[in-house]
């Protein structure tokens, strides 16, 4: 995590333009040695933006054929709040299978991990890591990098909100030691039951800590709260 922050996150936080975000997406792809990194968002006004490493040919074809309407990744993530492996999405329809086959012809990998993000005033974003490899290799990659990818995704989104001029500017409110303990254990992958047991508290009390931390961090959900706690230096995993 320290190396990620030193080599990438600090540069991402200094991004000033969409071109800067594009450069950071290429750098992140190279950092993780994957085929593609993509960040796409819809602003509160309905305007679409994106940066990433898919080919221009695939991007143009995707827009021309309005694949947004049939893409299982977009459809599936729009109804979710938590990160999702593409294998867990619904690819059963012929249109979805044809879409995926064509995507691979344009260099899209057979594996994907997408993180849906929701911002203020209707903003929706999707951060995706895409690669070609076996299921076993991909599972190992996601297990190893899941938490830091969530952090990266929300850092991308924070920059997008800044560019749009709607980033939250509320004063930072400190987390209590118990809230930090709860966020830390959630960040390393503990379930709520495991966190409560480790802290010798009830799950009801844990829920109070989590909701309090989420409010202080201005987070939309628990995953977002963990990402913000990491980003702001409250926890280090």
What domains are defined for the chain?
2-164 (3.30.450.80), 177-231 (1.10.10.10)
Backbone dihedral region for residue 4 (phi beyond 0: left; psi -120 to 50: alpha; all else: beta):
alpha
Write down the pLDDT at residue 170.
46
CA pair distance 137, 114, nearest whole angstrom: 17
Decide if 228 contacts 154 (C-beta within 8 A): yes
pTM (two decimals)? 0.74
Residue with tokens 């691979």: 104
Question: Which residues of the chain are modeled with pLDDT < 70?
Answer: 1-6, 44, 46, 119-122, 166-173, 236-237
CA pair distance 69, 63, nearest whole angstrom: 10
**Eight-class DSSP state of 70:** T
CA pair distance 47, 88, nearest whole angstrom: 29
Tokens of 61: 């074809």
CA pair distance 133, 135, nearest whole angstrom: 7
CB burial of residue 165 (10 Å; 0-12, 13-18, 19+): exposed
- Give Cβ neighbours of residue 64 (< 8 Å, ≥ 6 apart): none
Write down the pLDDT at residue 1.
59
């Amino acid at each position: 995590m320290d190396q990620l922050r030193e080599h990438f996150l600090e540069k991402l936080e200094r991004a000033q333009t969409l071109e800067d975000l594009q450069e950071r997406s290429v750098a992140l792809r190279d950092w993780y040695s994957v085929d593609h990194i993509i960040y796409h968002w819809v602003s509160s006004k309905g305007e679409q933006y994106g940066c990433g490493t898919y080919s221009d040919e695939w991007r143009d074809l995707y827009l021309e054929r309005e694949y947004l309407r049939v893409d299982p990744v977009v459809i599936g993530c729009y109804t979710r709040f938590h990160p999702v492996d593409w294998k867990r999405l619904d690819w059963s329809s012929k249109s979805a299978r044809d879409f995926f086959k064509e995507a691979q012809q344009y260099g899209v990998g057979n594996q994907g991990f997408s993180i849906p993000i929701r911002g203020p005033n209707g903003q929706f974003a999707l951060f995706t890591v895409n690669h070609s490899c076996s299921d076993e290799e991909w599972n190992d990659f996601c297990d190893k990098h899941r938490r830091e990818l969530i952090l990266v995704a929300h850092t991308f989104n924070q920059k997008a909100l800044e560019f749009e001029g709607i980033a939250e500017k509320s004063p930072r409110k400190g987390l209590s030691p118990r809230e930090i303990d709860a966020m830390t254990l959630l960040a390393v992958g503990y379930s709520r039951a495991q966190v409560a047991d480790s802290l010798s508290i009830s799950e009801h009390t844990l829920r109070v800590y989590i909701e309090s931390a989420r409010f202080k961090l201005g987070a939309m959900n628990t995953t977002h709260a963990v990402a913000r706690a990491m980003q702001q230096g409250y926890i280090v995993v």
